[in-house]
Amino acid sequence: MQIRYLGHSCFEISNQQTNLLLDPFISGNPLAAEVAIDQLSPDFLVISHGHQDHVLDVETLYKQSEATIVANYEVATWFQHRGLDRVIPMNQGGQTVLGAAQVKLVNAVHSSSMPDGSYGGNPVGFVLEMDGRCIYYAGDTALHQDMIQIKQEYSIDLAILPIGGHFTMGLEDALEASNYVGCDRILGMHHDTFPPISIDHQASKNLAESQGKELILMQIGTSITL
């Protein structure tokens, strides 16, 4: 399984059979200026909630590929009403198979509205299984104890967690979230894109290490193998 970071909370997760693109916010992110959005060809666009910094490039990517949108009911049908018919509407607790991956929607504590201000339903995170590995992608969220249930059901190999604070949990709460889900390997997201969520990378890594955690802060455009 390859994980490529495309900035903010956007990741490309793929193997030889299936390409998932999570929360596409590329064209509006100056830090992701080197990402060639026209070269992306996802099979599925997996959306955690309706805010613009998670859905901005959905239509562009949908139209240039054969991608299907996977999101909560309100987000999926909002795009459907805009003429994007390849959608899989879901909600918390639901599971589906996406090519070579299996995805379950789990709770997130945040807000959700669409770019036009309309209701975006409940925000979600994802537990994603592929190639015998299991990832928890938290989406935009505060720390919440529903995360404990994830550890009871899954063995998480990598926790992708927001760490920028201000709009989501910060690093301290993300470290506690890693305890809740039973995974000491954290891939940080939702940081540095805007001034309120800027972080000190070295200080953040030091804090994580002091608690026995590995904090991965990827450069935009780079990949890791899980």
Nearest to 120 by CA among 133, 139, 104, 103: 139
pTM (predicted TM-score): 0.98
Q: pLDDT tens digit string along 5-51?
A: 999 999 999 999 999 999 999 999 999 999 999 999 999 999 999 99
d(CA 107, CA 223): 27
Non-local (6+) Cβ contacts of 30 within 8 A are none
pLDDT in tens, 38-90: 999 999 999 999 999 999 999 999 999 999 999 999 999 999 999 999 999 99
**184-219 as b/e, with b when 16 or more CB fall inside 10 Å?**
bbbbbbbbbbeeebebeeeebbeebeeeebebebbe
User: With DSSP H G I counted as helix, E B as strand and the rest as coil, what are the percentages for the chain, rounded to 5?
Assistant: 25, 30, 45
Domains located in the chain, CATH noted: 2-225 (3.60.15.10)
Q: How far apart are CA 78 and CA 84, in angstroms?
A: 9
At 9, the amino acid letter reads S
Q: Is the separation of the CB atoms in 108 and 140 below 8 Å?
A: yes
What residue type is 223 in one-letter code?
Answer: S
DSSP state of 147: H
Listed residue (171, 182, 150, 181) closest to 215, CA to CA: 171
Per-residue pLDDT of 133-179, as tens digits, reads 999 999 999 999 999 999 999 999 999 999 999 999 999 999 999 99
Token digits of residue 166? 């201000």
DSSP tally for the chain: helices H, then strands E:
6, 14
Amino acid letter for position 183: C
d(CA 60, CA 8): 18
